[in-house]
Structure 1
Amino acid sequence: MPLTPLDIHNKEFTRAFRGYDEDEVNEFLDQVIKDYEAVLREKKDLFEQVTALDEKLSHFTNIEETLNKSILVAQEAADDLRSNAQKEAQLIVKEAEKNANRIVNEALSKSRKVMMEMEELKKQASVYKMRFKMLIEAQMEMLQTEDWEQFAGNEDFDEEELLKEQEEQENV
C-alpha cells in the first residue's frame, strides 16, 4: 500500500544516542511531504485527464462506427438505386421496343391495306374505262346506223324516243 503524506508526517523515528539532527530530519520530511503531495495531485490530475481522454476517445470511436455504418448504408442504398435504375432503364427500353414493333406492324398493315385498296381502285377504274369505251362505241355505232340518218333529215324527231332506244341498246 502506497504512503500518504499523512503517513510521512506522522512517522516517528526511534531515538538513538548519536542519531540524526531532529530539526534537519523534520525539515527534510516536510519537503518530502510537499513533493509527495504535489506528485499525488499531479497523478490525480493526469488520471482525470486520461479518464476524460478515454471518454472522448470512446465518443469519437462511437462517431467513427456510426459514420462507417452510415457509409455502408449509403453505399448499399446507392447500389440498390443504381440496380433499380438499370432495371427500370431495361424495362423502358423493352417497352420502347414493343411500342416500336407495334407501330411498325401497324404501319405495315396499313400499307398493305392501302395497297389492296389501290389495286381494287385500279380494277374499278379499268372496268369503268372498259364500260365507258363500250358506251362510246355503242353510241358511235348508233350514229352510223340508218335510224340516225332518218332523224338527221327529219327535224321533227321525238327526243324521248331516242332516249328509249339508247336505253334499250345499253341494256342489251
Structure 2
Amino acid sequence: MVLSPQDIHNKEFSSKLRGYNVDEVNDFLDQIIKDYQSVLEENKELRSQLGESKDKLTYFNDLKDSLNQSIIVAQEAADKVKTNSKKEAEITNREAQKRADDTVNAANGKANKILEEASKRAKKLAIETDDLKKDTRVFRQRLQVMLESQLEVIKGRDWDQLVEDSGTTTYEDIEKVVSELDSNSTKSVQSDSQQSESADLVEDTPAVDDSKETVVIFPDGQTK
C-alpha cells in the first residue's frame, strides 16, 4: 500500500533513551511530506497527460486507419474513373471514326454519282452536237444544191429568150416562157430533194468544203 502524506504526518514513533531529536525529526518529516505531496501531484498530472496522450494516440491511429482507408477508396475510385474514361475514349474514337468513314463514303458516292451524271450529260451533249453538225452539213448541202439548180435555171436559154431584145413581146409569149420556167424549176427542186434524201443516207463527210466556220443554233439560244 502506498503511503499518503497524511499517513506520514500521523505516523508516531516510540521514544527511547538517547533517541533522535524530536523537533529535527518532525521538521524532516514535514519536508518529506511536502516533497512527497509534490511528487504525487506531479505523478497525477503525468498520469493525466499520459491518459490524454493515449487518447490522442488512439484518435490519431483511428484517423490514420480512416485516412488509409480513404486513400485506398480514392485510389480504387481513381482507377475506376481512369478505366471508364479509357473505355469512353475508345468508344468515342470508334464512333468518330465510323462517322468519318460514313461521311467519306457518302461524299465519295455522291461525287461518283455527280461524275457519272456529268459524264452521261457530256456524252449526250456530244451526240446531240454531232447530230446538229450532221444536220447542218446536210442542210447546207441541200441549200447549195438548190441554189446551184436555181442559178442554172436563171442562166438557161428560156431566160435569155425572155429578156433578149427581139422587138415587141406579147403577154402570151411572156406567160408561156414563165410557165416553162416554173415547170423546169419544179423539176429541178424535186431532183434536188431526191439528191438530198440520198445524201441523208450517207454518213461520210459531205462533198462540200467544211473548212469554213459553221454556225449552229442550239435549242437554248446559244451559238456554237
- With normalisation by structure 2, the TM-score equals 0.59
In structure 1, the residue matched to 2:127 is 127
The Cα offsets for residues 3-39 of structure 1, whole Å up to 9 and x where unpaired, read as 1112112222233344333333222222221211111
Q: CA RMSD in A?
A: 3.0
Code of the residue aligned with 2:49 in structure 1: it is Q
Distance in 1, matches of 2:146 and 2:79, equals: 101
**Structure 2 unaligned regions, length at least 5:** 155-177, 179-192, 202-224
1:5 aligns with: 5
Larger radius of gyration: 2
Distance 1:30 1:147 in 2: 167
Q: Which amino acid in structure 2 is aligned with residue 93 of structure 1?
A: N
2:114 equivalent in structure 1? 114
Asked if residue 28 in structure 1 is aligned to residue 23 in structure 2, the reply is: no
Q: Which amino acid aligns with 2:41?
A: R
CA distance, structure 1, for counterparts of residue 61 and residue 148 of structure 2 = 124
Distance (whole Å) between structure 1 residues aligned to residue 43 and residue 146 of structure 2: 152
Alignment of 1:4-83 (within 5 A): 4-83=4-83
Kept in 2, the 8 Å contact 1:8–1:29? The answer is yes
TM-score by length of 1: 0.74
Deviation at 1:148, TM superposition (A): 7.2
Deviation, structure 1 residue 54: 2.2
- Partners of 1:142 and 1:148 within 8 A in 2: no
Q: What is the deviation of 1:98?
A: 0.6
Identity %: 41
Separation in 1 of the partners of 2:122 and 2:38?
122
User: Could you tell me how far apart the structure 1 residues matched to 2:127 and 2:77 are?
Assistant: 74
CA distance in 2 between partners of 1:148 and 1:72 (Å)? 111
Runs of 4+ in 1 over 6 A off after TM superposition: none
Q: Which one has a larger percent helix, Structure 1 or Structure 2? A: 1
* Distance change >3 Å, CA 123–CA 16, structure 1 → 2: same
| Distance across 2 between alignment mates of 1:112 and 1:7 | 116
Greater Cα offset, 95-104 or 70-79: 70-79
Which consecutive unaligned segments of at least 5 residues does structure 1 have? 155-164
Aligned pair 1:95/2:104, yes or no?
no
Q: How many residues align?
A: 158
